């Protein structure tokens, strides 16, 4: 069971917007930075967002991140078929002295 809670799946039509939530506690999300990772089928994860809301170079601005209190959100606008993937949130859990990931959210483009 993951320390961080994500919905198992979200779906939307092409061009629409989806949001993925990541809920934690004051010992993890509430006390640090959140990253978001995209894992396309059969590939290694790729970071989309780091330090809550920063995009690495090369990541389109269709992807956005935010954090409020003990929760974080990943937003994907202008959904494309190529966005079908598993998405994971991650953060440092101070109380555990360990990095933790959410269980992942599968995004389906209808």
Partner 1 sequence: QITLKESGPTLVKPTQTLTLTCTFSGFSLSTSGVVVGWIRQPPGKALEWLALIYWDDDKRYSPSLKSRLTITKDTSKNQVVLTMTNMDPVDTATYYCARIPPDWSSGYGDWGQGTLVTVSS
Q: Which is nearer to partner 1, 17 or 94 (by Cβ)?
A: 94
Long-range contacts of 57-64 (CB under 8 A, 24+ apart): 63/36
- By DSSP bridging, strand 85-93 and strand 71-76 are unpaired
> Taking Cα atoms as reference points, which of 102, 42, 38 lies closest to residue 72?
102
Q: Which is nearer to partner 1, 63 or 101 (by Cβ)?
A: 101
Q: Which is nearer to partner 1, 49 or 109 (by Cβ)?
A: 49
Q: Which is nearer to partner 1, 36 or 83 (by Cβ)?
A: 36
Q: Alpha-carbon distance 95 to 110, whole Å?
A: 40
- Name 42's Cβ contacts closer than 8 Å, sequence gap at least 6: none
Q: Alpha-carbon distance 76 to 26, whole Å?
A: 26
What is the x/- site pattern for partner 1, positions 26-65, by CB under 8 A?
A: ------xx-x-x-x----xxxx-xxx----x---------
What is the x/- site pattern for partner 1, positions 79-98, by CB under 8 A?
A: ---------x-xxx---xxx
Interface positions with partner 1 (CB under 8 A): 2, 32-33, 35, 37, 39, 44-47, 49-51, 56, 88, 90-92, 96-104
């Amino acid at each position: 069971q993951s320390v961080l809670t994500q919905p198992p799946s979200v779906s939307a039509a092409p061009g629409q917007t989806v949001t993925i939530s990541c809920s934690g506690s004051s010992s993890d999300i509430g006390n640090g930075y959140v990253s978001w990772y995209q894992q396309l089928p059969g590939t290694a994860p790729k970071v989309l967002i780091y330090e809550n809301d920063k995009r690495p170079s090369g990541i389109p601005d269709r992807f956005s991140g935010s954090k409020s209190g003990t929760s974080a959100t990943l937003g994907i606008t202008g959904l494309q078929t190529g966005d079908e993937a598993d998405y994971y949130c991650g953060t440092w859990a101070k109380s555990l002295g360990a990095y933790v990931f959410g269980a992942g959210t599968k995004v389906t483009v209808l």
